[in-house]
Amino acid sequence: MEKIPVTITVRGEQRRDSEVTQMEHTVEGTLEQNGEELTLRYREPEEAGLGETDTALTFRGEEAVLDRQGAVKARMRFIVGQRHRVDYRTPQGELLLEVRTTFLSHNLTQSGGKAMIRYHLTSGGQTVGNHTLKLNVKEREQ
């Protein structure tokens, strides 16, 4: 399985009530293809506030899985129309979340592409926020 060096622009938006928070980071990472499965791997930038955390985002068919390891530990499954429980662990403590995916799309290939995931987060029945994650992936010059 070849690891292709890529540049990833990560854009996130969180909506809660009338409040909107946006962030954008550009990071270097890798893109790996294993059969029908594509995985992006990158280290979260300091300004993301996740400490020393490595992220892997895997797309397979109609599903995406976000796996964070390090200061923050979480595994989030995204399948449109389904709900999944998430143990979200940080140095400050653990949070039990529920993720409901409302939209998932990508056109990623070994040379890059784009992806978008929209999801709703709740904790203890209370809305944490409506989130949109957009990724723009470009192969790095070697």
For 73, phi and psi rounded to 5 degrees? -125, 125
Tell me the per-residue pLDDT of 13-63, one tens digit each, with 9 for 90 and over: 999 888 999 999 999 999 999 988 999 999 886 665 556 789 999 999 999
Name the pTM for this structure. Answer: 0.89
Nearest to 81 by CA among 105, 102, 60, 59: 102
**Euclidean distance between CA atoms 87 and 74, whole angstroms:** 6
Burial environment of residue 42 by CB neighbours within 10 A (0 to 12, 13 to 18, 19 or more)? buried
